[in-house]
């Protein structure tokens, strides 16, 4: 099946979601008395043979509330290297071609009481096609109320599509966002899903609807948490805890994260790939 039309449809949604998220984050900066705004940088993917490999737009903002936030959308095509192709669903050494479109977001916050956050959803085609993604909360100073709010909104998004999704995908997040060499999780979880395969138009529509609802859940839950915590007083000890916890985030993303590896192995934009890294971090 030719997934060109579906890829374009998914891309349009990811771009619309990016615009809405960026507008909401800028509104929060205005509420805090900041004029910070996103800068948008377009990039083209370089390919070995000089063919069109697609590209994307990297949106970045540094403000009073958002110490560093990146919201990236990309649509890329090409071929995996043989060894890497063997690790990708539906790809092989004989058929390494792929198309991928998606949105990726990471926010590191100025106030240690406001959690960092990650959200990513994507549609990828090889010899098959599937959706994947999720969102997870990464507080240096966890609050049960914030964790419950975030998970409740994701649970609602899941339950509208499959009563087993939340239990399955929240466990997947716990298993995935784990740092083996630290024997600890990088945050308080969320959901993670992958390989929701689309064998026909009906499956595409069903999984696309779920992926849209994940984006809506994020847009509903996270800004509310930011607004509740962004004016909270913090101490030097709180800041030190935040900087140390960011080190865990760095370790996971550089050692274990599939998205980072995918971007680096497919000739992605380096700045966009590594936008997940915090602006300041410490290791004890």
Residue 132: other Cβ atoms inside 10 A: 21
Q: What is the pLDDT along the chain (284 residues), one digit of tens a residue?
A: 789 999 999 999 999 999 999 999 999 999 999 999 999 999 988 766 667 789 999 999 999 999 999 999 999 987 766 666 566 666 555 556 889 999 999 999 999 999 999 999 999 998 889 999 999 999 999 999 999 999 999 999 999 999 999 999 999 999 999 999 999 999 999 999 999 999 999 999 999 999 999 999 999 999 999 999 999 999 999 999 999 999 999 999 999 997 887 778 776 788 888 888 999 999 97
Please, which residues bridge with residue 133 across strands?
Answer: 121, 193
CA dist., res. 235 & res. 222, Å (int): 23
CA dist., res. 24 & res. 30, Å (int): 10
- Looking at residue 256, what DSSP letter applies? T
CA nearest to 149, candidates 221, 218, 216, 230? 221
Can you give the pLDDT at residue 45?
80
CA nearest to 38, candidates 65, 61, 9? 61
Flag whether 281 is in a domain: no
HSE at residue 61, side-chain half, CA atoms within 13 A, is 26
The CA dihedral of 107, 166, 150, 181, to the nearest 10 degrees, is -50
Residue 118: other Cβ atoms inside 10 A: 25
CA nearest to 114, candidates 32, 251, 222? 222
Residue 36 in tokens: 């910070």
- Contact status, residue 113 vs residue 141, Cβ threshold 8 Å: yes
Flag whether 272 is in a domain: yes
CA dist., res. 78 & res. 92, Å (int): 13
Can you give the pLDDT at residue 33?
98
Write out the catalytic residue numbers: 118
CA nearest to 119, candidates 269, 228, 267, 18? 18
DSSP three-state, residue 266: coil
Flag whether 72 is in a domain: yes
Domain total for the chain?
Answer: 1
**b/e map of 216-237 (b: 16 or more CB within 10 Å)?**
ebbbebbeebbeebbeeebeee
Can you give the pLDDT at residue 159?
97
| CATH code at position 97 | 3.40.1500.10
Flag whether 81 is in a domain: yes
CA dist., res. 183 & res. 181, Å (int): 6
Flag whether 185 is in a domain: yes
HSE at residue 126, side-chain half, CA atoms within 13 A, is 18
> What is the residue range of 53's domain?
4-276
Flag whether 284 is in a domain: no
- Contact status, residue 151 vs residue 189, Cβ threshold 8 Å: yes
Flag whether 92 is in a domain: yes
- Contact status, residue 91 vs residue 66, Cβ threshold 8 Å: no
Flag whether 256 is in a domain: yes
Can you give the pLDDT at residue 258?
79
């Amino acid at each position: 099946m030719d997934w060109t039309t579906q890829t374009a449809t998914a891309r349009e949604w990811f771009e619309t979601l990016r615009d809405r998220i960026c507008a909401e984050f800028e509104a929060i900066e205005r509420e805090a008395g900041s004029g910070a705004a996103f800068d948008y940088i377009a990039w083209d993917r370089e390919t070995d043979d000089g063919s069109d490999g697609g590209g994307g737009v990297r949106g970045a903002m540094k403000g009073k509330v958002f110490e560093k936030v990146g919201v990236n959308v990309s649509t890329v095509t090409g071929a995996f290297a043989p060894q890497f192709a063997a690790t990708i669903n539906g790809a092989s050494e004989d058929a390494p071609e792929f198309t991928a479109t998606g949105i990726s977001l990471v926010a590191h916050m100025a106030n240690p009481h406001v959690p960092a956050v990650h959200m990513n959803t994507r549609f990828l085609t090889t010899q098959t096609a599937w959706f994947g993604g999720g969102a997870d909360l990464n507080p240096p100073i966890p609050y049960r109320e914030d964790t419950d709010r975030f998970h409740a909104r994701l649970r609602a998004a899941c339950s509208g599509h499959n009563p087993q999704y939340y239990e399955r995908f929240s466990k997947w997040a716990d298993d995935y966002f784990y740092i083996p060499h630290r024997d600890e999780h990088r945050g308080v979880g969320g959901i993670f899903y992958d390989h929701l395969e689309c064998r026909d138009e009906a499956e595409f529509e069903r999984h696309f609807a779920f992926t849209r609802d994940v984006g809506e859940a994020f847009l509903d839950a996270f800004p509310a948490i930011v607004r509740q915590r962004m004016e909270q007083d913090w101490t030097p000890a709180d800041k030190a805890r935040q900087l140390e916890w960011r080190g865990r985030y760095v370790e996971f993303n550089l050692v274990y994260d599939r998205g980072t590896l995918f971007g680096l192995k497919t000739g992605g934009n380096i700045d966009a790939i590594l936008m997940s890294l915090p602006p300041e971090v410490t290791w004890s």
